[in-house]
């Protein structure tokens, strides 16, 4: 393909439809149209014209809006399917993922798992789809904005007659004398309406709001910046989103900090509104019952003095005390630790008494810490209790043997050996919550449950996000683009002497009627025909007349 | 003309290359971050854990020896079954440079001691009370066994119950 030289002398790139300079139609098929397709000003979108190397072919593929829409629709459908069944990340930790989907949802679940929808939003192909949208966005924009910019920059005042009469708003047959008489007034009125007016041989071109044409591209730029921000989340150190469950009294490494920071939970507190103190809520509180006022974890933040490997407890240096409340996170070194959950009243210790079954007489009590039970508890002289077995999460096994489901003290059970002066060899007793079994059923002594101690767990979320400001900038630019394209219109008016009469054409990217009204106001009191909308049915007759040059208005 | 063509080719190539790079990096970082899991071929994450008597064991001290790293709990049935196999194989292979570290998932000392006594285990049993080592090795279900060679590299990961043959095969494999 070769460059096209227009009769006005301008040399256009290959594939140009309308001369960049004067607007003459360069492609024959366009001449049959009543109204020109003014998208991208009839410039050669490069992708459509160069198609030689592999690079061009890839470029062309991504520059197509059809391809872009296809990618977006595919992403949309995939995203929707991902919501049909729960995602892997929402499943309880103790189950096998594959079996879960199979047993819960049968064949559909199996398919869901096999196709990778169980981890859709983190899967490589979903990421790839999003990335392709980004690529398409960049290339589509570049492929259009560059030629459009050049064409708008190169446009000449005097346009080819064929260009003028194929504008959507068009009128002909104006009196040249009338134009001459009001030439200055016309210019002044145009300028008053913020048009930039250019003259050439007594012809006028008025233009305003060109910058509105860049709106969509500014908008895309914002989107691309946004996507870059999302991409940066995968760069180590940029983004942390972890959770930490920590028991009262416990000190734990804060996840996501590479064991640099440790947190000690002193206490977890839930406060409710007090109907006595908060009189204003008295009535509601009576109707609704207690309402929580505050969730709070009192913590101390520590910093490790030296790096430590897994399992190693480094020397800790206190940084600060803090009270974490909802929306009042603990902040340090770009990290924020938020209050996000809790577990109340988990059993931590139990107190028992050794007693005579018949008389009920007690021979001392002992306290069993469920995390660190002792082997033996000495009571008063001659009396002691040994723990033979401990099942923190007791269940009866299939083989009839007591066993533990996990190491968490959810349902503690013990096998005790009670040593007393009467029974120096000891008696065996199996004790679980509200259960007391004896192997032979004729024990003289028993273990009596006295009391239980509980502990609270605090659920915290650890966040660090260095990408937030990039997302904000991207979002802001996106909005600027939207506003730019929405609240300004690109308007151009050509007032030109053709065949000893005055032709007026106008073009805008939106709100044609408003442009027509604006021109009518500019022409007020001047006897020049107001351009008519050539795409309106009522103007058909008019239009045909214009095309063969017979109608005068 | 040829000049502009060349320019266009260069510009497009550069833009496409940049985009491809960004996409490739995102995918790579995402997959890596997603599966921060230790896998076969990776260096074994170092750790320090204590046994019931308070002796510390550091994995990196075992360089030059093969390590049979087993995660277990007393409540896990397959663990109970495979422990005697591991102990028997350990007695055979410890003179040939294979060490066993059995990491308990954080039960009480008493429970662990009872178990060790019952099965007469002769290899070091350490306790991962905070779960940090389980996190580092991404332990999801028990038992889980890692084979670490003399260079500190994971050569094999096995989830589930081991047979006596398998235990021997594994020790043979990491024998320096």
For residue A552, pLDDT over 60 is answered with no
For residues A383 and A320, state if they share a domain. Answer: no
Return the higher-pLDDT residue of A30 and B33.
Answer: A30
For residues B77 and B122, state if they share a domain. Answer: yes
For residues B76 and B146, state if they share a domain. Answer: yes
Classify the complex by whether its ipTM is higher than 0.85, answering yes or no: no
Chain A residue whose CA is closest to B77: A403
| Domain-located, residue A444 | yes
For residues A55 and A111, state if they share a domain. Answer: yes
pLDDT at B33: 57
pLDDT at A28: 75
| Domain-located, residue A379 | yes
pLDDT digits (tens, 9 = 90+) for A409-419: 888 898 888 88
For residues A363 and A423, state if they share a domain. Answer: yes
Say whether residue B152 is in contact with chain A using an 8 A CB cutoff.
no
For residue A549, pLDDT over 60 is answered with no
pLDDT digits (tens, 9 = 90+) for A528-538: 999 999 887 55
Taking residues A386-410, report their average pLDDT.
82
For residues B108 and B155, state if they share a domain. Answer: yes
pLDDT at A547: 42
pLDDT digits (tens, 9 = 90+) for B17-55: 988 888 888 778 776 655 456 677 788 888 889 888 888
| Domain-located, residue B43 | no
- Residue B78 to chain A, least CA–CA distance (Å): 13
For residues B1 and B67, state if they share a domain. Answer: no
For residues A351 and A450, state if they share a domain. Answer: yes
For residues A338 and A390, state if they share a domain. Answer: no
Taking an 8 Å cut-off on Cβ atoms, the answer to whether A128 and B12 are in contact is no
Strands (E), A180-280: 196-200, 203-208, 239-247, 251-253, 261-272
Q: Which domain holds residue A338?
A: 239-345+459-464
Judging contacts by C-beta atoms under 8 Å, the chain B residues touching residue A132 are 23
Confidence of residue A205 (pLDDT cuts 50, 70, 90): very high
Of all residues in chain A, what percent carry a pLDDT higher than 70? 94
| Domain-located, residue B61 | yes
| Domain-located, residue B41 | no
Stretch among A88-102, A305-319, A509-523, B2-16 having the lowest mean pLDDT: A88-102
pLDDT at B113: 87
Confidence of residue A2 (pLDDT cuts 50, 70, 90): low
| Domain-located, residue A476 | no
Residues A364 and A344: their CA atoms lie apart, in Å, by: 30
Judging contacts by C-beta atoms under 8 Å, the chain A residues touching residue B12 are 55-56, 59
For residues B52 and B30, state if they share a domain. Answer: no
| Cβ count near B86 (within 10 Å) | 25
Confidence of residue A261 (pLDDT cuts 50, 70, 90): very high
Confidence of residue B94 (pLDDT cuts 50, 70, 90): confident
Confidence of residue B76 (pLDDT cuts 50, 70, 90): confident
Domain containing B56 — which CATH number?
3.40.30.10
For residues A390 and A313, state if they share a domain. Answer: no
For residues A351 and A282, state if they share a domain. Answer: no
Judging contacts by C-beta atoms under 8 Å, the chain B residues touching residue A120 are none
- Average per-residue pLDDT for chain A: 85
Q: Which helix (H) or strand (E) holds B159?
A: strand B154-159
pLDDT digits (tens, 9 = 90+) for A32-42: 777 777 777 77
Taking residues A369-379, report their average pLDDT.
87
CB-based burial of residue A26 (10 Å sphere; 0-12 exposed, 13-18 middle, 19+ buried)?
A: buried
Q: Contact at 8 Å (CB) between A7 and A145?
A: no
For residues B56 and B26, state if they share a domain. Answer: no
Taking residues A38-60, report their average pLDDT.
73
pLDDT digits (tens, 9 = 90+) for A173-192: 888 999 999 999 999 999 99
For residues A418 and A502, state if they share a domain. Answer: no
| Domain-located, residue A522 | yes
Return the higher-pLDDT residue of B15 and A235.
Answer: B15
pLDDT at A543: 43
| Domain-located, residue A110 | yes
Q: Which of A134, A141, A114 is nearest to A46 (CA)?
A: A141
Taking an 8 Å cut-off on Cβ atoms, the answer to whether A312 and B34 are in contact is no
The pTM of this model reads 0.72
For residues B66 and B92, state if they share a domain. Answer: yes
| Domain-located, residue B40 | no
Domain containing A502 — which CATH number?
3.30.310.50
For residues B100 and B24, state if they share a domain. Answer: no
Block residue for tokens 């972890």: A242
Judging contacts by C-beta atoms under 8 Å, the chain B residues touching residue A228 are 22
Count: domains in chain A: 4
- Residue A51 to chain B, least CA–CA distance (Å): 11
For residues B10 and B92, state if they share a domain. Answer: no
Q: Contact at 8 Å (CB) between A348 and A409?
A: yes
pLDDT digits (tens, 9 = 90+) for A214-233: 999 999 999 999 988 888 88
DSSP labels, A448-503: EEEEEEEEEEEEEEEEEESSHHHHHHHHHHHHHHHHHHHH---EEEEEEEETTEEE
For residues A361 and A341, state if they share a domain. Answer: no
Q: Which domain holds residue B145?
A: 48-174
Q: Contact at 8 Å (CB) between A202 and A423?
A: no
Say whether residue B46 is in contact with chain A using an 8 A CB cutoff.
yes
pLDDT digits (tens, 9 = 90+) for A436-491: 888 777 888 888 888 899 999 999 999 999 999 999 999 999 999 999 999 999 99
Taking an 8 Å cut-off on Cβ atoms, the answer to whether B108 and A372 are in contact is yes
Q: In this complex, which of B13, B29, B74 lies closest to A235 when CB atoms are compared?
A: B29
For residue A92, pLDDT over 80 is answered with no
- Residue B150 to chain A, least CA–CA distance (Å): 20
For residues B99 and B142, state if they share a domain. Answer: yes
Q: Which of B53, B61, B66, B128 is nearest to B100 (CA)?
A: B66
Q: Which of A16, A490, A477 is nearest to A217 (CA)?
A: A477
Count: domains in chain B: 2
Judging contacts by C-beta atoms under 8 Å, the chain A residues touching residue B46 are 309-310
| Domain-located, residue A30 | no
């Amino acid at each position: 393909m070769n460059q096209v030289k227009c009769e006005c002398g301008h040399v256009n790139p290959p594939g140009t439809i309308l001369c960049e300079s004067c607007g003459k139609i360069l492609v024959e098929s366009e001449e049959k149209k009543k109204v020109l397709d003014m998208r991208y000003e009839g410039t050669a979108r490069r992708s459509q014209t160069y198609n030689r190397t592999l690079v061009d072919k890839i470029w062309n593929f991504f520059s197509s809006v059809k391809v872009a829409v296809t990618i977006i629709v595919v992403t949309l459908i995939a995203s929707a399917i991902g919501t049909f069944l729960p995602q892997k990340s929402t499943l309880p930790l103790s189950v096998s993922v594959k079996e879960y989907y199979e047993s819960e949802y049968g064949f559909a679940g199996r398919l869901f798992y096999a196709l990778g929808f169980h981890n859709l939003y983190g899967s490589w192909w979903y990421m790839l789809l999003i990335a392709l949208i980004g690529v398409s966005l960049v290339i589509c924009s570049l492929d259009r904005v560059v030629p459009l910019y050049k064409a708008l920059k190169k446009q000449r005042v005097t346009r080819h007659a064929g260009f003028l009469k194929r504008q959507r708003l068009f009128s002909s047959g104006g009196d040249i004398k009338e134009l001459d008489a009001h030439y200055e007034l016309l210019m002044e009125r145009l300028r008053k309406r913020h048009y930039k007016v250019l003259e050439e041989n007594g012809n006028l071109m008025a233009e305003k709001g060109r910058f509105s044409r860049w709106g969509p591209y500014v908008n895309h730029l914002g989107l691309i910046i946004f996507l870059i921000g999302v991409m940066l989340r995968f760069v180590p150190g940029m983004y942390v989103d972890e959770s930490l469950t920590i028991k009262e009294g416990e000190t734990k490494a804060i996840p996501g900090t590479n064991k640099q920071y440790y947190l000690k939970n002193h206490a977890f507190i839930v406060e409710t509104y007090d109907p006595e103190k908060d009189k204003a809520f008295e009535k509601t509180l009576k109707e609704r019952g207690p309402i929580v006022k505050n969730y709070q974890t009192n913590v101390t933040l520590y910093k490790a003095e030296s790096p430590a490997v897994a399992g190693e407890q480094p020397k800790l240096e206190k940084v600060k005390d803090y009270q974490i409340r909802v929306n009042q996170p603990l902040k340090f070194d770009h990290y924020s630790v938020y209050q996000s959950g809790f577990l109340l009243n988990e059993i931590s210790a139990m107190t028992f008494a050794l007693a005579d079954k018949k008389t009920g007489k007690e021979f001392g009590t002992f306290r069993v810490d469920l995390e660190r039970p002792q082997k033996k508890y000495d009571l008063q002289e001659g009396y002691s209790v040994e723990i033979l077995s401990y099942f923190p999460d007791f269940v009866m096994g299939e083989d009839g043997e007591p066993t533990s489901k996990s190491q968490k003290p959810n349902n503690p059970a013990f096998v005790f050996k009670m040593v007393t002066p009467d029974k120096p060899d000891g008696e065996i007793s199996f004790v679980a919550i509200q259960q007391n079994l004896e192997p032979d059923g004729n024990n003289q002594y028993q273990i009596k449950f006295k009391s239980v101690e509980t502990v609270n767990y605090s659920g915290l979320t650890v966040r660090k996000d260095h990408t937030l400001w990039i997302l904000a900038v991207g979002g802001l630019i996106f909005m600027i683009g939207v506003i730019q394209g929405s609240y300004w219109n690109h308007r151009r008016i050509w007032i030109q002497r053709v065949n000893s009469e005055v032709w007026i054409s106008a073009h805008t990217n939106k709100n044609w009627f408003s442009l027509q009204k604006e021109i009518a106001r500019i022409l007020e009191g001047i006897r020049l025909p107001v351009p008519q909308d050539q795409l309106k049915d009522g103007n058909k007759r008019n239009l045909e007349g214009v095309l063969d040059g017979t109608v005068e208005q | 003309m040829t000049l502009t063509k060349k320019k266009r080719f260069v510009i497009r190539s550069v833009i496409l290359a940049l985009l491809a790079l960004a996409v490739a990096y995102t995918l790579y970082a995402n997959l890596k971050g997603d599966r921060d899991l230790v896998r076969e071929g990776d260096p074994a994450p170092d750790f320090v854990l204590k046994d019931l008597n308070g002796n510390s064991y550091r994995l990196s001290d075992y360089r030059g020896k093969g390590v049979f790293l087993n995660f277990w709990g007393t409540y896990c049935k397959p663990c109970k079954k495979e422990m005697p196999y591991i102990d028997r194989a350990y007695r055979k292979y410890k003179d040939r440079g294979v060490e066993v570290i059995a990491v308990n998932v954080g039960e009480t000392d008493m429970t662990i001691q009872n178990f060790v006594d019952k099965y007469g285990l002769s290899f070091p049993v350490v306790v991962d009370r905070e779960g940090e080592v389980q996190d580092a090795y991404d332990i999801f279900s028990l038992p889980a066994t890692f084979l670490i060679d003399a260079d500190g590299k994971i050569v094999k990961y096995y989830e589930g119950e081991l047979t006596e043959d398998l235990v021997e095969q594994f020790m043979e494999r990491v024998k320096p």
